[in-house]
Structure 1
Amino acid sequence: MTSSSVTGLWKKLTGKFSKSSQGAAHHVAIIPRDQHTVSRRHISEAALKVIRKLNDEGFEAFLVGGGVRDLLLGGQPKDFDIATDATPEQVRNAFRNSRIIGRRFRIVHVRFGREIIEVTTFRGNHSAPASNPQRNKHSAQTESGMLTRDNVYGSIDDDAARRDLTINALYYSSRDFCVYDFVGGLDDLNNKLIRIIGDPETRYREDPVRMLRVVRFAAKLDFDIEKHSEAPIKRLAPLLNDIAAARMFDEVIKLFMSGQGLHTYALMQRYELFAPLFPATQKMLSQREPAAEEIIKQGLINTDARIADGKPVTPAFIYAVILWPMVKHLHKEIMDAGTPEIAALHQAAERVLHKQQQTVAIPKRFSLPMRDIWELQCRLTRRSGKRPEQLLEHRYFRAGFDFLLLREQAGEIEPGLGQWWLAFQEAHVDTRGAMLSQVPTGDKPRAPRRRRGPRKPR
């Protein structure tokens, strides 16, 4: 595409160089194909189909966000997002295999088999007067500045200004094969900087989850956080208490299942972002419980290693590790009051999970396996009779066993039990009997007492 046609496309997109929400003209950097590394060969065919279809319908469509960022860094993106000037309804009408989701922030999911392409309409600014009925219909903010409805549409340069990080505001066009940079994202990418777009405090108040995104990308990419973007985070961290608990579940998964969970956790502690999400666990950590800190760190180390090796990781295990210090503490308290071991564990788990739901809502499909993992910590110490063989058939035995090894690695329990179970799993059926006969006496249940009958009269 010639330089004149690129300029023509740019004028069409921005309304002849429209102004930003701050009133300053945008100076877009247009990087031609021979000066960047983004190639259609590395872009999902489904994403290219969405772009072509929208273009054929008369709309503009760009690959945007993490897909462009990762391709420029030489990686292979997992997800490809599209930004367009088509409204959600127009996108929905163009694709039968799509649906509109979200209320606060409406987007369209276009499905191709198991792959989902996320399509968003160019976002506009919220500078319209409060008396404007259109603004009231599509935009709403709380007194603290948090956006509760964000469906104001605008041009591509407005959209760039509304995105969270400069490195996520890069656009790629499959028409001219150029990369469009509106906010200096390429410079920050080259300088390895995480920078929030606009005034940091205002943007964090609009959506406090942006603070989590800043630390997540800093850990994931091993970038530094720009000083102005960093400055208000610790002070504004309590704003996370205002976020819906259901939304926080997915955010925590992104934080700790990105392959850089340990680094992310360290940054969350530095900026005091962990406490609003897991207040009970933070209470244990604040009491300088070395075992609590160690098991969380060891759990994240093991999770990062599994992700690096391409092994599956379940959110249930991550949450079981993070909440275990408080479960263990309550378990001991309830047992000391005279409740039997397993019953005490059930009560402790119930109380911890009930409290946790107020900040991070954990669905039952994960909270139920978590309870099983915790309960297995009691059952794995009982190695007599048919119990070990039966436990091997337990559907969460492997997760419970891995959790036991984690506790040994963290120094919470004496080593040896994990090695015994590892050997028992690998032993031949005939050998297992001999292993059971050598189990220490403390691991065997007491013989049941004989019931005495009524005394016979003399």
Structure 2
Amino acid sequence: MHSQLPHTLQPEEPTPLIIPRADHPISRKKIDRNALKIMYRLKDHGYLAYLVGGAVRDLLLRRQPADFDIATDAKPAQIKKLFRNSRIIGRRFRLAHIFFTDRITGRQQIIEVATFRKKLMIDEKNLEVVTAKPTMVNNTYGTPAEDVQRRDFTINALFYSLDRFKVIDYLGGLEDLEDGIVRIIGDPYERLIEDPVRILRAMEFSCRLGFTLEEQTLKAMQFHAPLLKEVSPSRMHEELRGLYTKGTTSAMLDLAAKLGIISSWLPYPTATMLSQTRQLMQKMEGFFSPATNEQQLESLIVTSLLLPEVVNRCGISPAPPLHQVNEAIELLLHPLNDCLHLPRYQRHRVREIIIGIFRLCSGDKRIKKLKKRPNFYLSLFFFIQLGREYPKELGKTIGFWHKQVSRWPATKDDQVVDPKLMFSDQRH
């Protein structure tokens, strides 16, 4: 076990712990080829270039990273000069996106390259300048040691360098990684005031990695949970869209309930149907792979959140009139939309899915017509889940559709879901 380093902001620049290649599992074979090209070009031109964040964390855990982000001491304009296939983006955070296109598949890849930054201490001397140029707060460049203090969690504050292929640890992130701990960098109470969305990120890491929330981090999350209600809906939507792809939303709901912060995340009455919601969402996440169903994920998750309460209000036997179902959807969507800023097309899709579920509940057997409706297969999936919860009320109709689906031709490779698998415990 490596010696633990301080986790709080230090008045002097700390000396990092250096982990040589022989003592860590990161191999260049596991690093994206284009990311390596960028790092080597920056290095060859005299700049520092580190692999950072989740990529280093996942490689140390022997997982395959989803993204490969790079940090450097080259300024955005210098990066753009080195890479013709790059573009400088952002006003709040100025950084470079470097674009690659696979010659065989045509798939586009974007690798993010950011310049090391430091936290700008605002005082009487620079207050006037900062007021005139507020973007300076997030675009004051610094050293790797200063940059690492701005990151969110110690396990995301590790650097990998091509110089002797070492891992650089300023804040004890490696020990937290080995011990399975999610710890906010610095004072967690202050850091959560800066960005309350870190509460959701901490829960996501805890659920996805099976890590424990560090005690002070946990207490600060519970104390500052009400700040989530003050996050702009557009920011919340942007953050959650990224979290949905991790396949841990159901586990996050469960953890939020255990921590007593679910009502700060989701509006009433959605937050009160947690038991049914989590069970339904767990089945949905098990069937619809995030990798192949990314476009549908948000509407599937929102449907999972709303459906238990729609059933609670409208019932399923006898099947309620569709106008009553639609009214219930609208009443529940409104507060959820205020919180999550759902795009109009997603709200429309959620309505279509839930209305489709209740068409099936009513015993509608117009097979050809129903199959042509948008999102029919998504409605069918949720209808089957309801059938397992209400076998007496829906068993006969479920049996009818099971028989019909078993006669349908084999699923095409490009079809999003396989309806035959919906009736079994197999996963897509």
The TM tier, using the shorter chain, reads 0.7 to 0.9
2:277 aligned residue: 296
1:368 aligned residue: 348
Query: Is the contact made by 1:255 and 1:264 (CA closer than 8 Å) also made in structure 2?
Result: no
Are residue 55 (structure 1) and residue 43 (structure 2) matched?
yes
Are residue 170 (structure 1) and residue 154 (structure 2) matched?
no
CA distance in 1 between partners of 2:390 and 2:139 (Å) = 51
TM-score normalized by the length of structure 1: 0.77
2:306 partner amino acid: L
SS at match of 2:217: helix
2:400 to 404, 413, 420: 420
2:293 partner amino acid: P
1:398 aligned residue: 377
1:161 partner amino acid: Q
Are residue 40 (structure 1) and residue 34 (structure 2) matched?
no
Are residue 341 (structure 1) and residue 321 (structure 2) matched?
yes
Are residue 265 (structure 1) and residue 253 (structure 2) matched?
yes
1:174 partner amino acid: L
CA distance in 2 between partners of 1:330 and 1:224 (Å) = 37
Per-residue deviation, 1:328 = 4.3
Query: Is the contact made by 1:130 and 1:136 (CA closer than 8 Å) also made in structure 2?
Result: no
**Bigger radius of gyration:** 1
TM-score normalized by the length of structure 2: 0.82
CA distance in 2 between partners of 1:365 and 1:414 (Å) = 32
Query: Is the contact made by 2:329 and 2:351 (CA closer than 8 Å) also made in structure 1?
Result: yes
CA distance in 2 between partners of 1:225 and 1:37 (Å) = 25
SS at match of 1:357: helix
Larger deviation, residues 27-36 vs 127-136: 127-136
Q: Against the structure 1 CA distance between its residues 308 and 166, is the aligned structure 2 distance closer, same or farther, given a 3 Å change threshold?
A: same
Aligned residues between the structures = 388
Q: Residues 50-71 of structure 1: CA distance to partner in whole angstroms, max 9, x if unpaired?
A: 2123223432111001101111
Q: Residues 121-158 of structure 1: CA distance to partner in whole angstroms, max 9, x if unpaired?
A: 21201324154144445657xxxxxxx96333211101
RMSD: 2.7
2:170 aligned residue: 182
2:346 partner amino acid: F
CA distance in 2 between partners of 1:233 and 1:384 (Å) = 47
SS at match of 1:120: strand
1:68 aligned residue: 56
SS at match of 1:153: coil
Structure 2 stretches lacking a partner, 5+ long:
1-7, 102-107, 410-428
2:71 to 83, 99, 102: 83
CA distance in 1 between partners of 2:343 and 2:11 (Å) = 45
Q: Against the structure 1 CA distance between its residues 51 and 382, is the aligned structure 2 distance closer, same or farther, given a 3 Å change threshold?
A: same
Larger deviation, residues 418-427 vs 225-234: 418-427
1:433 aligned residue: none
Q: Residues 344-385 of structure 1: CA distance to partner in whole angstroms, max 9, x if unpaired?
A: 333333333333222111113322211110110221134457
2:299 aligned residue: 316
1:357 to 337, 347, 359: 337
Per-residue deviation, 1:234 = 1.2
2:287 aligned residue: 306
Structure 1 stretches lacking a partner, 5+ long:
1-19, 141-147, 286-291, 333-339, 430-458
Per-residue deviation, 1:279 = 0.6
Larger deviation, residues 50-59 vs 223-232: 50-59
Larger relative contact order, structure 1 or 2 (CA cutoff 8 Å, min sep 6): 2
Larger deviation, residues 419-428 vs 58-67: 419-428
CA distance in 2 between partners of 1:258 and 1:393 (Å) = 31
Q: Residues 20-60 of structure 1: CA distance to partner in whole angstroms, max 9, x if unpaired?
A: 96413302011111111111110001111221232234321
Larger deviation, residues 162-171 vs 23-32: 23-32
2:111 aligned residue: 117
Between the aligned residues of both structures, percent identity stands at 34
Q: Against the structure 1 CA distance between its residues 418 and 97, is the aligned structure 2 distance closer, same or farther, given a 3 Å change threshold?
A: farther
What aligned pairs does 1:243-282 form with structure 2 within 5 A after superposition?
A: 243-282=231-270
CA distance in 1 between partners of 2:15 and 2:380 (Å) = 57
SS at match of 1:162: coil
SS at match of 2:327: helix
1:441 aligned residue: none
